[in-house]
DNA sequence: GTCAAAAAACCAACCAGTTGGTATATTACT
DNA sequence: AGTAATATACCAACTGGTTGGTTTTTTGAC
């Protein structure tokens, strides 16, 4: 962080790591791969990061910060009704599915699958990052619950985790099929479920039948 | 398949691959790891499989066959009402979450995340295996739809994929948290959504309110 | 004895991480 | 301001160990 050049190199390494790991996973990504993509030598790599694992942790943190900013500055966050914000989040994620696969998938979800049993620090970083994002979501869900269905038997947090689970599963099918249609339809089902959980908007008209 | 001993060695290698890859992922799993776990030398490994990738494909196929048998012989499949079979499937998967993480997670979902961009044959095998399982599920969903909500706007297949997406996402959180509570709650949300989609059982009583 | 199966020894390529050193800043003193 | 001292940023070459895969040898069933 001292010189601008140093910060730029560090950022290039983190971005290269983010992109390559999202495409190939953590284990299959070599330090040489990351250095080549960042246009940096291995000596420089190990000047900035003490190990591949520490780079992984830094990449997770940076990915989470970037993601937080994207969602914090997304248009739906300014809607006054928390229910609209929750559904707007889902719509926003559906709209992201038009990009390349490696551009909308989750670095943390990809990594934790292969490192949870062997790299405790990486696992913990992924857990923390995903839980923070769920906590952000949970705030809007809780507000919507309070307003529309305060006595519902489910917890706002469990719905936040459920939303992330659907997203992570949708990413897996997008990768397996090299196609986002299943992912789009799955997020559509998620949206329908949330509409049902959070009830109808405050206009007070009859709820649509459950079956539709 | 020639001698019984040969078949036993092959099975041991496939089972070792299945267990280690589920815990550490495909790339981080070495041929030596698999040989050690199977109690077999490397020379023997390459007598049975021409490459690590071919072993991976064989492991995917065997995993899928084993899984098919488990679900085909599960108690819920004998229920007469297709809606009960669909919900029974979810309950059965919830009950599986009491085992060790590496015993209930999906080899295919774990693998496809890290190989989809680099190993086309593995990706295709995972896609096919997951799609076959969805097709099995879709049959019951379609039957339940026909019986209870034939005009609903969603397709049975998209619901089948949605169910698998929730499962895969639940596995990711089980790994990240080293705890199945989030997974159990997510499958609970999935169950509630399916109850809503498939309507109420044929007893003809009033539907419970959507919000509960 | 023959031939498939298993073992043992081996290999070239590759891996994460080190080395010893050079370039480029930043600071400190005059 | 000028410049010596110091710290940071960077790099090419190297290392010990590991990788997927091969070759050669031994075992064991018929």
Residues A24-33: tens digit of each pLDDT:
999 999 999 9
pLDDT score of B207 more than 60:
no
CA distance A127 to A108: 8
DSSP symbol at A41: -
- CA of B3, C1' of D29: distance in angstroms: 9
Mean pLDDT, chain B, integer:
91
Q: Nearest Cβ partner of B169 from A117, A167, A189? A: A167
Q: Specify whether the backbone of B100 is left (phi greater than 0), alpha (psi in -120 to 50) or beta.
A: beta
What CA–CA distances, in Å, run from A43 to A8, A21, A36, A38, A49? 16, 20, 12, 13, 10
Q: Report pLDDT digits (tens) over B120-175.
A: 999 999 999 999 999 999 999 999 999 999 999 999 999 999 999 999 999 999 99
Checking B93-99 for CB contacts under 8 A at 24+ apart, the result is B93/B167, B93/B187, B94/B184, B94/B187, B94/B188, B94/B191, B97/B170, B97/B174, B97/B180, B97/B183, B97/B184, B97/B187, B98/B180
* Subunit contact A185:B207, Cβ cutoff 8 A: no
* Subunit contact A114:B113, Cβ cutoff 8 A: yes
* Subunit contact B166:A161, Cβ cutoff 8 A: no
Q: Report pLDDT digits (tens) over A19-70.
A: 999 999 999 999 999 999 999 999 999 999 999 999 999 999 999 999 999 9
- CA of A51, C1' of D13: distance in angstroms: 20
CA distance B139 to A212: 20
Task: Give me the CATH code for the B52-197 domain, please.
Answer: 1.10.357.10
What CA–CA distances, in Å, run from B11 to A143, B4, B32, B68? 53, 11, 16, 17
A81 CA to chain B: closest CA distance, Å?
Answer: 18
Q: Which residue of chain B is at minimal alpha-carbon distance from A211?
A: B197
What CA–CA distances, in Å, run from B34 to A111, B10, B18, B175? 22, 11, 9, 22
DSSP symbol at B206: P
Backbone φ and ψ of B21, nearest 5°:
-65, -35
Q: Does A76 touch chain B (CB under 8 A)?
A: no
Instruction: From chain A, pick out residues whose CB is under 8 angstroms from the CB of B192.
Output: 154, 193
Q: pTM for the complete prediction?
A: 0.91
Instruction: From chain B, pick out residues whose CB is under 8 angstroms from the CB of A159.
Output: 189
CA distance A147 to A201: 10
């Amino acid at each position: 962080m001292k010189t601008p050049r140093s910060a730029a190199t560090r950022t290039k390494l983190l971005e290269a790591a983010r992109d390559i790991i999202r495409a190939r996973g953590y284990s299959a990504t070599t330090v040489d791969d990351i250095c080549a993509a960042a246009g940096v030598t291995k000596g420089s790599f190990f000047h900035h990061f003490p190990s591949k694992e520490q780079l992984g942790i830094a990449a997770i943190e940076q990915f989470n910060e970037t993601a937080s900013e994207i969602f914090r500055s997304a248009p739906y966050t300014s809607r006054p009704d928390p229910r609209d914000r929750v559904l707007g989040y889902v719509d926003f994620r559906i709209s992201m599915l038009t990009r390349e696969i490696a551009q909308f998938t989750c670095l943390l979800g990809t990594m934790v699958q292969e490192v949870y049993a062997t790299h405790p620090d990486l696992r913990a970083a992924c857990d923390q990052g995903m839980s923070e994002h769920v906590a952000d979501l949970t705030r809007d869900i809780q507000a919507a619950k309070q307003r529309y269905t305060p006595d519902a038997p489910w917890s706002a947090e469990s719905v936040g985790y459920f939303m992330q689970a659907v997203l992570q599963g949708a990413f897996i099918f997008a990768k397996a099929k090299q196609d986002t249609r299943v992912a789009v339809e799955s997020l559509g089902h998620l949206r329908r479920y949330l509409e049902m959980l959070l009830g109808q908007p405050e206009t007070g008209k009859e709820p649509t039948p459950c079956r539709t």
